[in-house]
Amino acid sequence: MTQQEHGCIHPNCHELLGRLSDYVDGELDQALCIEIEKHMAECERCHLVIDTLRKTVELYRSMPTPPLPDDVRGRLLLRLNLEDFVVKSDEINTEDKKAPAGME
């Protein structure tokens, strides 16, 4: 957890940490990208941290939006006086099976 245990003397490791989000999002300017990639090539630990950080974001982004529970939806439409403007939820369920199985 200290810099020594980290196994690399670069002051970079710590500095680098502050820029990881931008790097993972591909929003870092090229010079800094190159710097990070150079460091990753030399420092296995940072490499792993970045890979797993990227994977973490990827996994969360791949999570589908669970459909709104029918009762919640019904009460919302009622409250907004919109029942007449939208397709009834049971009609949707028969026409539209996009929601993945197993979602709550």
Partner 1 sequence: MNETMEQTHPEPSLQALQSGDRLEFSRLVEAYSAPIYRLALKILGNQQDAEDVLQETFIKAYRHLGEFEGRSKISTWLYRIASNEALMLLRRRHPEAISVDEDVQTTDGEQEPVEIADWCCLPEEELLTTESRDYLDHAIDTLSPNLKVVFLLRDIEGLSVREAAEALHISEAAVKTRLLRARLQLREELSHYYAERLGEVRRI
Interface with partner 1 by CB under 8 A: which residues?
1-2, 6, 14-15, 17-18, 20-22, 24-27, 45, 48-49, 51-53, 55-57, 59-68, 72-73, 75-77, 79-80, 82, 85-86, 102
CB neighbour list of residue 3: distance below 8 Å, 6 or more residues apart? 9, 13, 14
DSSP 81: T
8 touches which of partner 1, Zn ion, none (CB within 5 to 8 A by kind)?
Answer: Zn ion
Measured at the alpha carbon of residue 26, what is the angle toward residues 57 and 56, in degrees to the nearest 5?
A: 10
68 binds, among Zn ion, partner 1, none (CB under 5 to 8 A by kind): partner 1
In the block, tokens 């996009």 appear at 98
Task: Give which of partner 1, Zn ion, none residue 17 binds (C-beta under 5 to 8 Å, depending on kind).
Answer: partner 1
- What would the x/- binding string for Zn ion be over residues 60 to 99, using CB under 5 A? ----------------------------------------
Give Rg (Cα) of the chain: 23
Cα 34–Cα 36–Cα 38 angle in degrees, nearest 5: 65
Site string for Zn ion, 30-59 (x = CB under 5 A): -------------x--x-------------
What is the spatial distance between Cα 46 and Cα 61, in angstroms, rounded to a whole number? Answer: 22
